[in-house]
Amino acid sequence: MKWQQKHSTVILEAITLLLIILFTYAGLTKLMEGHLFYDNIRNSPVLGGKAMASLAAWVIPLSELTVAVLLVWRRTRMIGLYGALGLMLLFTAYTVAIVFFAPYRPCSCGGVISLLTWEQHLVFNLVLLLLAMMAISYSLKKNTMGQDPSRTMEPKKN
């Protein structure tokens, strides 16, 4: 039991770090290459449309950066994990729609992740979705066991 507890903390920390890097990188890249991201949404067979592209070009990167910031602080980490899960669900649903239902596939331009095909993107999203779910599950377990990592205090040494 102790072994599992110790490792779940390490796993939780590792997943959090991974999500922080991913969302910060993805959010900043989308903001810096704003026109490219706007064009991608504009050409999307699933979302398309001027209003949607304008809205998504701001809302998605800002949401990603907000989630990354929430994950940094332990007090807000749980909200950040739920935010990460929500975003990953959204991205996975979008990728599923592109891979299985779209009449054509738009360019997945922008950042290093653009090197992946849409199928690889789907697998990548599914793995991250599972990791986010795992992190939430570990956090909840720790909370119910009275070992909330965000509230853990070092025992006082007298």
Partner 1 sequence: MKKLKLILPMLAFIFAIALSFAFENATEEVDYATKYVRVGSNWHAIEVDCGLGSSQCVVIFTEDTSETPYQVYNSQDLEDEALGSTDIKPIEGPAPSN
Given the complex with partner 1, which of 72 and 145 has the nearer CB atom? 72
Give least dist CB 98 to partner 1, A: 12
Report how far residue 68's alpha carbon sits from residue 62's, in angstroms, rounded to the nearest whole number.
10
Does 39 participate in binding partner 1 (rule CB under 8 A)?
A: yes
- Dihedral of CA atoms 83, 87, 90, 95 in degrees, nearest 10, equals -160
Amino acid at 53: A
Burial of 84 (0-12, 13-18, 19+ CB in 10 A): buried
Given the complex with partner 1, which of 90 and 107 has the nearer CB atom? 107
Does 118 participate in binding partner 1 (rule CB under 8 A)?
A: no
Question: Which residues contribute to the site for partner 1 (CB under 8 A)?
Answer: 13, 16-17, 20-25, 28-29, 32-33, 36, 39, 42-43, 50, 68-69, 71-74, 104-107, 110-112, 114, 149, 154
